[in-house]
Amino acid sequence: MSSQFRTRIKICCISSSEEARLAIRLGADALGLVGRMPSGPGVVADELAAHIVRSTPPPIATFMLTSETITADIIAHQQRVGANTIQLVDAVSPATYVQIREALPAVKLVQVIHVIDERNIAEALQAVEEGADALLLDSGNPTLAVKELGGTGRIHNWAISRQIVEQSAVPVFLAGGLNVQNAREAIEQVQPFGLDICSGVRTNGQLDERKLEAFIAALS
Ligand SMILES: O=C(O)c1ccccc1NCC(=O)[C@H](O)[C@H](O)COP(=O)(O)O
């Protein structure tokens, strides 16, 4: 699904209410709250994520990133955090989409696809068939002994991502190694519905107002 609209902005790895307020003030459409992960720098405790969700005003979306793959564990995670969107950073079975949908009908499901090669195009389209409300194309590697499921700071093959955007019936977010220098090129090459950024707007792990401002200005 190619977008003819303003590119949406998801600021991920939000680690405090102050960061959430800053991201919203500067124009974020969505906040990402990273749950327990096998690796990566952006994890926050569920209690803190729940606190940030409660203090986030509409229409800002709250994405809860989960590495859980068992339906009951994903649902329990959502119930602890209360986010309106679940971002599945690892692959789940087709039945899982149906079961989450039944248990949490108002919650949106975003499937992450870690783009490594052309095989990920079929994987992405299958996730849409199975019920994903949106896709997020990232640069992790779930085949490693210690899985990498995001927050890598690396870009991937955008030509593959462009093909996924062209063939997807649902909105597609692009993630992985984005920053102020490559944001415009990413939009031109991939034409995503939205961009997702974590490390590119941080300094020493903290959300950096100047970097975020520059990144958002580069999109307009
Ligand atoms: O940041 C993490 O620690 C992390 C670990 C595992 C899954 C996701 C994680 N971060 C959240 C994201 O989805 C990032 O925004 C996305 O991977 C892009 O990160 P970056 O390349 O640093 O912009």
Q: Which atom of ligand 1 is nearest to the CA of 40?
A: 3
Ligand 1 mean position to 138 CA, how many Å?
8
| Token reading at 65 | 């990133």
Identify the residue whose tokens are 């959502």: 78
The pLDDT of residue 1 is 54
Tens-place pLDDT, residues 45-81: 999 999 999 999 999 999 999 999 999 999 999 999 9
Interval 152-208: pLDDT, tens:
999 999 999 999 999 999 999 999 999 999 999 999 999 999 999 999 999 999 999
- Residue-range domains of the chain with CATH: 8-219 (3.20.20.70)
Half-sphere exposure of 20 (CA within 13 A, CB side): 23
The Å distance, Cα 42 to ligand 1 centre, comes to: 7
Of all protein residues, whose CA lies closest to atom 19 belonging to ligand 1?
151
Residues having CB within 6 Å of any atom of ligand 1: 12-13, 32, 34, 37, 40-43, 65, 89, 138, 149-153, 175-178, 196-200
Alpha carbon distances (Å) from 120 to 19, 57, 127, 155, 178:
33, 35, 10, 15, 20
Q: What are phi and psi of 122, to 5 degrees?
A: -65, -40
- Contact, 104 vs 78, CB < 8 A? yes
Question: Could you read off the pLDDT of 84-130 as tens digits, one per residue?
Answer: 999 999 999 999 999 999 999 999 999 999 999 999 999 999 999 99
Q: Which two tokens stand for residue 19?
A: 């960061």
For the chain, helix (H) and strand (E) counts, in that order, are 8, 10
Cα–Cα nearest to 73, from 62, 56, 86: 86
C-alpha to C-alpha distance for 71 and 132, rounded to whole angstroms: 15
Is the model's pLDDT at 2 over the cut of 60?
no
